[in-house]
A = this chain, B = another copy of it.
């Protein structure tokens, strides 16, 4: 790793900042453990020496902030992308839920870190808005009887968050639930909380 890296050309040293954040994300995703996010481990992963990080971040906390900001951007983009395919608002809402929960499952430690300390971060507001808009379109469509899409979007979000963090594929038998149809379970939750008809 350290051997293969070639230094950035003069004037483009800022590229390393992006590489460092990417290395931190790869590290927490692969170890699936937020505790492995140390400054030295991130540097090793990025193929640089530990002090090099200080040219781009004041300290580890600032690096973590950048990781979180990038992660919220990714989550928003994943959900927004999933909502582009469907043609009706009910399917959009379902796609939002599935993609959101999938992100939580696939990046478990990172997702938990995103919501660990600060409650829901300001950066999650834009993703919340996607859900709210979808419910509003369902109401306009006649497929939701929600009287308050804003409040109901919050309920849906809480449910998505619960699925993303509580349920981990492979442990279902503990509750004698049999093989769980997770997409169906999430659809049920979203349908009831967003007051979908039919």
Q: Which residue numbers of A lie inside 8 Å of B, CB to CB?
A: 35, 112, 115-116, 118-120, 122, 125, 128, 150-151, 154-155, 157-163, 165-168, 170-171, 174-177, 185, 188-189, 192-193, 195
> Which residues on B sit within 8 Å (CB–CB) of A175?
120, 125, 128, 154
A154-B185, A159-B162 known, 16 other contacts, Cβ within 8 Å? A118-B171, A119-B166, A120-B171, A128-B175, A151-B185, A155-B159, A155-B192, A158-B159, A158-B185, A161-B162, A161-B165, A161-B166, A162-B162, A165-B165, A189-B193, A193-B193
Q: Which of B128, B158, B193, B195 is A167 in contact with, Cβ under 8 Å?
A: B158
Listed A/B pairs (24) with beta-carbon separation below 8 Å: A35-B35, A112-B112, A115-B166, A119-B166, A119-B167, A119-B168, A119-B171, A120-B175, A122-B174, A125-B175, A155-B185, A155-B188, A157-B166, A158-B159, A158-B163, A158-B185, A159-B162, A159-B189, A160-B162, A161-B165, A161-B166, A162-B162, A162-B166, A192-B195
